[in-house]
């Protein structure tokens, strides 16, 4: 039987590459820039499988251009770039990479929290610019993180990993999520449930860990931002469109909040000019960007592809019904 033809939109890491090559007829995209849309659709014409990144949009036009496609393995936990119902309708399975990036992404929420509170980026730029003329008592005084109240919105794997880290900082942890966590989890993480408005009124740091979907798109709007304390910071490592960016700029300009640490944006790679302020730390969507974790994510995607073409159910399939009808 001929091997399944798979297009992979990145060279990935050797372990994942080797696994894919052991089972499939692979075509890797290895140019530094992302493939242009036409190029991408053209490559899919004769492919049975696709391994893609969150920058690739998988929608009706993709599926029309890829009549033979049977599986899309998204190398990310978030899959808002994939129209899963459209894939299901056409009998295309979709997989993601949950579980392997929680700790790394949680670390990055803390990176942003610490950096913005303690003004690290401003201070680094000051030192590099040669502006530092000597120690001074009130230079770059920021805000303490330790002992404060951390408000976590979305209490899945990543939200909980963020909560676990708070213990070392002696923080009070409050959270909000669609479903309340079990009592033993709340106890273990010393996290208290709050309704959203109460959380926003109490938290010194508000960190977002919800997936992007119809319910969460633009959920963090002006009224929510304005409920935060004027001394509080917003941290977003989830997805940009969860926050109304124009409202966030307004909240920052009018000092309704103290600052923000942002890893994700409404229209990446565009960054609203109003966000380029000293009290905002900006990162180019780096939440899971450690070599170890990106290697694990690539491997999980490869394992999903291999399982599928070996006739097994991919471990991380999001639409099992997409397999049945294929």
Active-site positions read: 239, 268, 285
Q: Which stretch binds ligand GLV (CB under 6 A): 31-39, 70-78, 143-151, 248-256?
A: 70-78
Q: Could you say whether residue 69 binds ligand GLV (CB under 6 A)?
A: no
Report the residue from 35, 49, 78, 151 that binds ligand GLV according to the rule CB under 6 A: 78
Query: How far apart are alpha carbons 254 and 252 in whole angstroms?
Result: 5
Stretch that binds ligand GLV, among 42-50, 75-83, 162-170, 175-183 (CB under 6 A): 75-83
Element (H, E) at 261: strand 259-262
Kindly tell me which of 279 and 293 has the beta carbon lying closer to ligand GLV.
Answer: 293
Q: What is the DSSP letter of 270?
A: B
Site for ligand GLV in 226-285 (CB under 6 A): none
Angle among Cα 21, 22, 25 to the nearest 5 degrees reads 45
CA distance 47 to 57: 16
Q: What's the gap between Cα 147 and its chain centre?
A: 27
**Closest distance to ligand GLV from the beta carbon of 54 (Å):** 6
Alpha-helix runs per DSSP H in the chain: 14-23, 37-44, 60-65, 84-89, 102-117, 120-128, 157-166, 183-189, 196-202, 222-227, 245-253, 291-309, 320-324
* Closer residue to ligand GLV (CB): 236 or 319: 236
Cβ atoms of 282 and 275 within 8 Å: the answer is: yes
Q: Which is nearer to ligand GLV, 27 or 268 (CB)?
A: 268
Smallest gap from residue 223 Cβ to ligand GLV (A):
27
CB of 13 to ligand GLV, least distance (A): 15
Q: Which of 44, 77, 248, 262 binds ligand GLV (CB under 6 A)?
A: 77
Chain-centre distance for alpha carbon 7: 23
Q: Which stretch binds ligand GLV (CB under 6 A): 74-82, 124-132, 159-167, 310-318?
A: 74-82
SS3 state of residue 275? helix
Is residue 307 a contact point for ligand GLV (CB under 6 A)? Answer: no
- The conformation of residue 36, written as its DSSP 8-state character, comes to P
> Among 19, 76, 258, 283, which residue sits at the site for ligand GLV (rule: CB under 6 A)?
76
Bridge partners (DSSP) listed for residue 82: 58
Residue (101 or 152) nearer to ligand GLV, CB:
101
Residues 276-295 that bind ligand GLV (CB under 6 A): 287-288
In the stretch 23-62, what mask flags binding to ligand GLV with x, by CB under 6 A?
-------------------------------x--------
Q: How many residues bind ligand GLV (CB under 6 A)?
A: 7
Q: Is 63 in the site for ligand GLV (CB under 6 A)?
A: no
101 binds ligand GLV (CB under 6 A): yes
Using an 8 Å Cβ cutoff, are 248 and 221 in contact? no
Q: How far is the CB of 154 from ligand GLV (least distance, A)?
A: 13
Q: Residue 200 or 299: which CB sits closer to ligand GLV? A: 299
What is the rounded distance in angstroms from the CA atom of residue 266 to the CA atom of residue 251? 16
SS3 135: coil
Taking the chain, what is the end-to-end CA distance rounded to the nearest angstrom?
Answer: 18
Q: Which residues contact 98 (CB under 8 A, 6 or more apart)?
A: 77, 157, 316
| Residues engaged in binding ligand GLV (CB under 6 A) | 54, 76-78, 101, 287-288
């Amino acid at each position: 039987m001929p091997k399944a033809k798979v297009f992979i939109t990145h060279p990935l890491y050797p372990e994942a590459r080797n696994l894919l090559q052991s089972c499939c007829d692979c075509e890797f995209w290895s140019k530094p820039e992302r493939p242009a849309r036409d190029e991408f659709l053209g490559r899919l014409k004769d492919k049975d499988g696709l391994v893609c990144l969150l920058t690739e949009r998988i929608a009706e036009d993709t599926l029309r251009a890829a009549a033979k496609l049977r599986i899309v393995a998204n190398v990310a936990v978030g899959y808002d770039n994939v129209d899963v119902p459209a894939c299901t309708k056409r009998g295309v399975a979709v997989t993601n990479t949950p579980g392997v990036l929680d700790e790394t992404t949680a670390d990055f929420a803390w990176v942003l929290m610490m950096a913005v509170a303690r003004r690290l980026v401003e201070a680094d730029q000051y030192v590099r610019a040669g502006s530092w003329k000597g120690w001074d008592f009130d230079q770059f005084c920021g805000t303490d993180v330790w002992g404060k109240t951390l408000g976590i919105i979305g209490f899945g794997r990543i939200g909980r990993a963020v909560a676990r880290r708070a213990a070392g900082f002696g923080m009070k942890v409050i959270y909000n999520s669609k479903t309340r966590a079990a009592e033993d989890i709340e106890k273990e993480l010393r996290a208290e449930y709050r309704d959203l408005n109460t959380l926003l009124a109490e938290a010194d740091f508000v960190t977002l860990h919800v997936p992007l979907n119809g319910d969460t798109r633009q959920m963090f709007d002006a009224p929510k931002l304005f409920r935060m304390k004027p001394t509080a910071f917003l941290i977003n490592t989830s997805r940009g469109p969860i926050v109304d960016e124009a409202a966030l700029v307004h909240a920052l300009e009018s000092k309704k909040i103290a600052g923000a640490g942002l890893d994700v944006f409404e229209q990446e790679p565009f960054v609203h000019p109003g966000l380029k302020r000293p009290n905002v730390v900006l990162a180019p969507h780096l939440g899971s960007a450690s070599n170890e974790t990106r290697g694990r994510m690539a491997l999980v995607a490869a394992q999903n592809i291999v399982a599928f073409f070996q006739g097994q159910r991919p471990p991380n399939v999001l639409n099992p019904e997409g397999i049945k009808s294929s």
